[in-house]
């Protein structure tokens, strides 16, 4: 395969990054001021794992990708004009998905994971506070009191003697649901699922937060009762989503979905000669 096409594709990706440099710079600054949660780095990590282990099978290029690129750039410009960072940043994964569709590789099903770079809006996390975290903490405290731990809960705060553990809006499960949705999508795509099945897996992953978050809070309360409030908070974030990510990768490895020999992405065959271009389509 000639090196002209990989070089031209690389140039287009670099041009896309340059076009979104204001949004990317703002995203990077967010880690300095704490507005960009560490869980947003899971998305590029999953994309990197997929591309490295599976070489991102090519698909037929689709002209609709150009429209998505344009839409992403418009979102960026509108976000800058309106000083709405979420809208500005949302344009990036839209454009990334569009570029993947337009070029045919990596698969758009892989590129969609870039939406994980967009954190759950703070306004959504705080919309119902403190009701969700209060309910989660109350259930956890009740469970631990059943084994004779003298815990008391007032609102989103657990008390044990002179010590206390307070849950915030970020512990209500919205951010974890977003992470679990990404992991569900990733695992489904690893197994060759098309868009519809991958979406179903993502929704199932998000719904799993109804089980995972109460268990995570219960573990955090146990760590707090054992005498380590910092460990409890570290477990809630980033401990829980890191454990879920590690578990998902473990399942993917055990199922054989990620056991292929690593190969260079640019050595993949051209779309026209790849017999798997339609694999996994719904």
DSSP result, 171-196: GSSHHHHHHHHHHHHHHHHHTT--HH
DSSP tally for the chain: helices H, then strands E:
13, 3
| Low-confidence residues of the chain: pLDDT under 70 | 1-3, 54-57, 259-282
Helix, strand or coil for residue 63? coil
Query: What would the pLDDT profile of 243-261 be if each residue is shown by its tens digit?
Result: 999 999 999 888 777 755 4
3-state secondary structure of 223: helix
- The Cα 170–Cα 145 span in angstroms is 25
Determine the pLDDT at residue 275: 38
Which pLDDT value is given to residue 54?
Answer: 62
Measured between alpha carbons, how far is 248 from 110 in angstroms, rounded to an integer? 16
Render 67-125 in DSSP notation, one character per residue: HHHHHHHHHHHHHHHHT-HHHHHHHHHHHHHHHHHHH--S-HHHHGGGGGGSPPPHHHH
Helix, strand, coil abundance in the chain, percent, nearest 5: 70, 5, 25
What is the rounded distance in angstroms from the CA atom of residue 23 to the CA atom of residue 72? 11
Token representation of residue 85: 């960072």
CB 43 within 8 A of CB 113: yes
Q: Are 186 and 248 in contact (CB under 8 A)?
A: yes
pLDDT of residue 197: 94
pLDDT of residue 265: 42
DSSP 132-165: HHHHHHHHHHHHHHTTT---EEETTEEEETTEEE
Torsion over CA: 29, 95, 196, 113 (sign): negative
- pLDDT tens column, 155-212: 999 999 889 999 998 898 999 999 999 999 999 988 888 889 999 999 999 999 999 9
Closest CA relative to residue 221, chosen from 231, 208, 209: 231
Strand partners, 157: 154, 166
Indicate the DSSP class of residue 257: T
């Amino acid at each position: 395969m000639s090196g002209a096409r990989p070089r031209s594709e690389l140039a287009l990706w670099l041009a896309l990054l340059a076009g979104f440099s204001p949004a990317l710079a703002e995203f990077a600054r967010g880690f300095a001021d704490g507005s960009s949660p560490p869980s947003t780095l899971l998305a590029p990590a999953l994309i990197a794992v997929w591309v490295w282990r599976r070489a991102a099978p090519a698909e037929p290029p689709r002209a609709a990708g150009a429209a998505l690129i344009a839409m992403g750039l418009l979102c960026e410009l509108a976000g800058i004009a309106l000083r709405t960072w979420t809208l500005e940043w949302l344009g990036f994964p839209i454009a990334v998905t569009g570029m993947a569709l337009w070029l045919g590789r990596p698969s758009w099903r892989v590129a969609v994971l870039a939406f994980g770079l967009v954190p759950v809006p703070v306004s959504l996390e705080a919309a119902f506070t403190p009701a969700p975290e209060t309910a989660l903490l109350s259930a956890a405290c009740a469970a631990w009191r059943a084994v004779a731990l003298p815990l008391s809960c007032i609102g989103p705060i657990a008390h044990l003697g002179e010590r206390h553990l307070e849950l915030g809006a970020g512990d209500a499960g919205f951010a974890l649901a977003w992470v679990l949705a990404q992991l569900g999508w990733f695992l489904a795509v690893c197994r060759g699922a098309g868009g519809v099945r991958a979406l179903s897996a993502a929704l199932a992953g998000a719904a799993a937060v109804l089980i995972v978050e109460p268990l995570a809070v219960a573990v955090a309360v146990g760590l707090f009762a054992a005498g380590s409030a910092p460990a409890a908070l570290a477990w809630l974030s980033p401990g829980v989503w890191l454990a879920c990510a590690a578990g998902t990768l473990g399942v993917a490895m055990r199922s054989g979905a990620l056991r292929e020999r690593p190969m260079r992405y640019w050595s993949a065959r051209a779309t026209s000669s790849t017999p798997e271009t339609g694999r996994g389509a719904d």
